[in-house]
Structure 1
Amino acid sequence: MIVILVLIVIACLSVWLVTKWRRVKRYWLERGVPHHPPHPVLGSLTFLQRENPDPLWSSLRRRLTSVFTAAKLRSLNGITVSKAKNLLSRIDIEIQKSEPMDLRKIFTDYTTDVIGESAFGVTSNSLVDGDSIMRKVTREFGSFDLHRGLSWSSIFFFPELVDIFRFSFFPKDTVEVLRKIFRSVIAQRGGYEKEVKDARDLLDALLKIKQEAAKEDEEITEDLLLAQAAIFLLGGFETSGGALSWTIYELAWNPQCQEKLYQEVLETKRKIGGRNFDSAIVSEIPYLDCVIKETLRIYPPMGWLDRISSKEYKIDDNLTIPAGTTVYVNGVGMQMDPQYFPEPEVYNPDRFLPDNERDITPYSYMPFGEGPRNCIGIRFAYQTLRLGLAEIILKYEVRVLPNTPKPTECQVEKNGLLLMPSEKLFVEFVKRDNEFVS
């Protein structure tokens, strides 16, 4: 009797699975959408449909936005200027060594220092000391192993397994280190109870969020605040460090672009004389932004964007996207599509000169996303990239080293979420001969 019952259950389950598989397999076919045949287990990623977290997300986004206004970022200018100077000193030291410097390593040291002090108020001297507590955190955040691969795969593909196996997006030991830093700085500032009137940095903003929520009888846990800090750290240090690495490497292989940028940077420096570059000054160097944007076109931090449709959306007579459907946007595919960017593999910052940029098809260029859900740290990223790049190009010419691959031959990491180089990138730094280089 038990055997018969088991067979009936298996038969019913098999029928259900076959029926469900047929429905999944024909889903996009019936709607006339070009697609790859779905996988019998993974389907077309429709398992990523979740409860819409908009109410909490909207509240956090609104309150965090105040940290990233132009005025607030100007108040952090001194930190970024100081770290850019440390970056030049570090390059000077590395030049004296027999081995070429790893661009990604040195630039993620720089971006970690900028974020560590600007966002968390924690002294970070990775560039000077070769290490810091924040660098240990970011180094672990950027690492990958089998366990982390299983964690990420489960979070994205099999979320029902996350709680069972207690998987985490971040390494748990590293999160605890960040938690200690988080609590230590909060304690130094008077604890959760001390009222924050004006948020100076990300940590102040998170404290203020918790205090405002409490007044409205809404609970904001420490874990939720810590998650925002961790995401900002992960999303900022690696993406900006990677962007600088790709930019310097491309400029070495495209000396005409490098020379054009150098002349604009040098002209600007001569205008300001003995004053340091600051965020306002470098934002007025047109070709500097063109170079950064062209790098982000070819090497966007993430190759895709994912969104969940909040309501039913009609594309055309044949296709309507149901509410709650997870939609993936192939950002890197559009940015490398000759329909939108002629000769897409050619590094050409002129695409983003004012007269040319207005001809770019809207929403075909989205390295930071677009609309109300675009990257909240876009201004912070540009400030970090502009200052670091302007200081480097003013002081050094970067040249191709023998036996190094062309940019189009470089591979990106296959393990990880971000489009980072899978191999070390090397260039030669040669001091320039101008009145500002000692």
Structure 2
Amino acid sequence: MGSLTFLQKQNPAYWMRQAYNDFKSPYLGMWLFWRPALVINSPEIIKRILVKDSDNFRNRFMSSGKTDPMGSMSILLIKDPAWTSLRRRLTPIFSAAKLKKHYKIVQVKSTDFIQRIKELSAKKIYFNLRTLSADYTTDVIGESAFGMVSESAKTGDSLMRGIAREFMAFNIQRGLSWSSIFFLPEVVDIFRFSFLPKDTLRRLRIIFRSIVEQRGGFDKKIDEPQDLLDALLKIKQEADEDGEEISEDFLLAQASVFLLAGFDTSGSAMSWVLYTLAWHPHCQEKIYEEIIAVKNKHGVQDLDANTLSELVYLNCVIKETLRLFPPMGWLDRVATKDYKIDEKVTIPAGTPVYLNAVATQMDPQYFPDPLVFNPDRFMPENERNITPFTYLPFGEGPRSCIGTRFAFQALKQPIASIILTFKIETLPDTPSPIDVQVENHGLFLMPLDENMKVKFVPRDLE
């Protein structure tokens, strides 16, 4: 599978789905260049790996090397037991109570985002949804993780947005670096590949140091963190008190990954939701009616965190969109010790294991009419009947995505605000959501920009 990314012939997520349908087996073997690997299709075995026997699969296979200390110490790539310690310290940052303190950032950026859509719509400019959405998510995550106020959502450009674009710009060097980190980590040190481009990291370091200095330095006591950056600084202070050393690079690695691994995956998810809703106006109206009902119930004008938490159908729309278009095409783990799957197969220690959730989410056995957009699948009375471990857009178990709550908060506010303000309509000669092309050279299921345009019609002009 690794060669697919080098050759840029097929998105790996599509390969995983094709292999699932071609072989119809609980698991299948493949080659990552010269290394044997195992793809797991069975939800029961996936559950064992992610939860029941997760102690043997704590680490991801993808990894960086000694020549890339920043990448290798990030929450995404760090190895156990360092991962366990880091996860324990970071988890409280993403609790529901703590995220309410970050909600003001989401509200402000959503307001900027809506104003920009109004201005573009008035000029009949039909902007690429992926670009537009990433402008917003860069602002939200950049301000939360780095404490840097930007205006990408309002203007489409900022220093942080430029850094994010630089990070995602594809070239041969980046393709080789990421493919090696994901599929062939043995060569990372040989060729000095890195997860974060050197220039990107240099610019982020300057911003990080500047903001920390503005806040009084690393030693200023933080009692109640107001954003992710405060929380990271508090982690360092608590570690110092416990006699542990946490370096500036360690903190910068986490902030950088929150931003750079989050802005495009969240932006992509939002663009898929908005584009899909354009093709399903009845779903838009159900969301609109739900928002009005909840606002009337509480007698509020603005969408606050409590109001958003009661938007059940909007939750269903986001979940169903992520079923069809999950950002990540697979979940990867590596066996720490030999692991017996059944009487036929034992996974040798060090073997990469890929969990094929991108395929189970499209299996009619688990999701009837899988190509049909049907948010009702995730209504509470229906969701409980979904076979466990067939739907994993954020993973599951100890190493699931730590930012799931943050992502949902950042998505729900602007989507709800857009539905309150506009009707989203399709444009002529645009493909249906399921026919939108995705990046072949990407490691994620990202839409091509030019395929994601819609028309926003202000509701007050109807």
Does the TM-score normalized on the shorter chain lie above 0.5? yes
1:106 to 120, 132, 152: 132
CA–CA distance in 2 between the matches of 1:216 and 1:168?
31
Aligned length in residues: 404
1:407 to 433, 452, 457: 433
Does residue 343 (structure 1) correspond to residue 369 (structure 2)? The answer is yes
Aligned to 1:16: none
8 Å Cα contact 1:49-1:324 kept in structure 2? no
Question: Residues 33 and 304 (structure 1 numbering): CA distance in 2 closer, same or farther, change over 3 Å?
Answer: closer
Is the partner of 2:290 in helix, strand or coil? helix
Does residue 421 (structure 1) correspond to residue 421 (structure 2)? The answer is no
Question: Residues 307 and 37 (structure 1 numbering): CA distance in 2 closer, same or farther, change over 3 Å?
Answer: closer
2:352 to 317, 326, 343: 326
Name structure 1 gaps, 5 residues minimum: 1-31
Larger Rg: 1
Q: How much does 1:43 deviate?
A: 4.2
Does residue 367 (structure 1) correspond to residue 380 (structure 2)? The answer is no
Aligned to 2:19: none
Q: How much does 1:340 deviate?
A: 0.8
2:331 to 286, 300, 305: 305
| 1:27-426 matches, cutoff 5 A | 35=28, 38=31, 41-44=34-37, 48=61, 53-424=79-450, 425-426=452-453
CA–CA distance in 2 between the matches of 1:33 and 1:273?
52
Aligned to 1:431: 458
Is the partner of 1:328 in helix, strand or coil? strand
8 Å Cα contact 1:45-1:157 kept in structure 2? no
8 Å Cα contact 1:42-1:157 kept in structure 2? no
Q: How much does 1:49 deviate?
A: 8.2
CA–CA distance in 2 between the matches of 1:37 and 1:306?
14
8 Å Cα contact 2:62-2:185 kept in structure 1? no
CA–CA distance in 2 between the matches of 1:36 and 1:398?
44
8 Å Cα contact 2:93-2:231 kept in structure 1? yes
CA-based RMSD of the aligned residues comes to 2.4
Deviations 1:299-331 (CA, angstroms, capped at 9, x unpaired): 111010111234443322222323443211112
CA–CA distance in 1 between the matches of 2:241 and 2:298?
48
Q: How much does 1:406 deviate?
A: 1.1
Q: How much does 1:36 deviate?
A: 5.3
Specify which structure has the bigger relative contact order, considering alpha-carbon pairs within 8 angstroms and separated by 6 or more residues.
Answer: 2
Q: How much does 1:82 deviate?
A: 1.3
Aligned to 1:28: none
8 Å Cα contact 1:64-1:202 kept in structure 2? no
Q: How many percent of aligned residue pairs carry the same amino acid?
A: 56
Is the partner of 1:54 in helix, strand or coil? coil
Is the partner of 1:266 in helix, strand or coil? helix
Question: Residues 148 and 48 (structure 1 numbering): CA distance in 2 closer, same or farther, change over 3 Å?
Answer: same
Q: TM-score, normalised by structure 1?
A: 0.86
Whichever residue aligns with residue 143 of structure 1, its letter is: A
Question: Residues 86 and 40 (structure 1 numbering): CA distance in 2 closer, same or farther, change over 3 Å?
Answer: closer
Give the 4+ runs in structure 1 shifted more than 6 A.
Answer: 49-52
Name structure 2 gaps, 5 residues minimum: 1-24, 40-59, 66-77
Q: How much does 1:229 deviate?
A: 1.1
8 Å Cα contact 2:103-2:305 kept in structure 1? yes
Q: TM-score, normalised by structure 2?
A: 0.82
CA–CA distance in 2 between the matches of 1:45 and 1:342?
27
Is the partner of 2:333 in helix, strand or coil? strand
8 Å Cα contact 2:143-2:149 kept in structure 1? yes
Q: How much does 1:418 deviate?
A: 1.9
**More off after superposition, 288-297 vs 58-67:** 58-67
Q: How much does 1:343 deviate?
A: 0.8
Q: How much does 1:147 deviate?
A: 0.9
Q: How much does 1:338 deviate?
A: 0.9
CA–CA distance in 1 between the matches of 2:62 and 2:150?
39
Whichever residue aligns with residue 454 of structure 2, its letter is: V
